């Protein structure tokens, strides 16, 4: 397998773990301020989408190809981390939705990384022609 086609598992795992940590950092203060978990039902799903987008893009920024795959897998890792932590617990439906949003956010972040890489490559190619 060529170096460009290699899947960067270390980066994927780091992106997923960092996304999950960022979600906790964003959500936990609201739980303490609001004195309850009810606000988390509304806060966690969008936070999952945004944070996995950010870290899906971060994951995709350092790879040479398969940007969307790398971002998606980072979102899967983030979902699996939370599933492992809450194993044998009944989760509200909004948290189950949040797991899907992690995967979607990661994929979108990988796509954004591919677009920014393509735009940068096009600019560099244009600069070399002149």
pLDDT in tens, 74-114: 999 999 999 999 999 888 888 889 999 999 999 999 999 99
Query: Which residue blocks in the chain are alpha helix, DSSP H?
Result: 9-33, 38-61, 67-85, 93-129
- Does 101 reside within a domain? yes
Q: Are the CB atoms for 107 and 54 separated by under 8 Å?
A: no
Identify the CA nearest to 46 among candidates 69, 68, 29, 22. 22
Whether 49 and 100 have beta carbons less than 8 Å apart is answered as: no
Question: Does a structural domain hold residue 94?
Answer: yes
With respect to residue 35, please indicate whether it lies within any of the assigned structural domains. yes
Hey, how many other C-beta atoms are within 10 angstroms of the C-beta on 5? 10
**Is pTM beyond 0.85 here?**
no
Residue 2 lies in a domain: no
Residue 3 falls within a domain, yes or no?
no
Task: Show the domain range for 115.
Answer: 9-129
Q: Total structural domains in the chain? A: 1
Tell me if 1 is assigned to some domain: no
Q: Is residue 4 part of a domain?
A: no
Q: Is 71 among the domain residues?
A: yes
């Amino acid at each position: 397998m060529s170096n460009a086609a290699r899947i960067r598992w270390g980066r994927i795992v780091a992106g997923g773990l960092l996304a999950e940590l960022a979600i906790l950092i964003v959500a936990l203060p609201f739980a303490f301020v609001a004195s309850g978990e009810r606000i988390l039902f509304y806060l966690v799903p969008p936070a999952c989408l945004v944070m996995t987008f950010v870290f899906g893009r971060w994951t995709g920024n350092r790879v040479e190809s398969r940007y969307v795959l790398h971002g998606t897998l980072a979102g899967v890792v983030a979902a699996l981390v939370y599933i492992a932590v809450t194993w044998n617990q009944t989760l509200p439906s909004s948290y189950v939705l949040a797991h899907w949003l992690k995967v979607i956010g990661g994929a979108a972040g990988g796509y954004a990384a591919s677009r920014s890489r393509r735009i940068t490559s096009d600019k560099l190619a244009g600069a070399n022609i002149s």
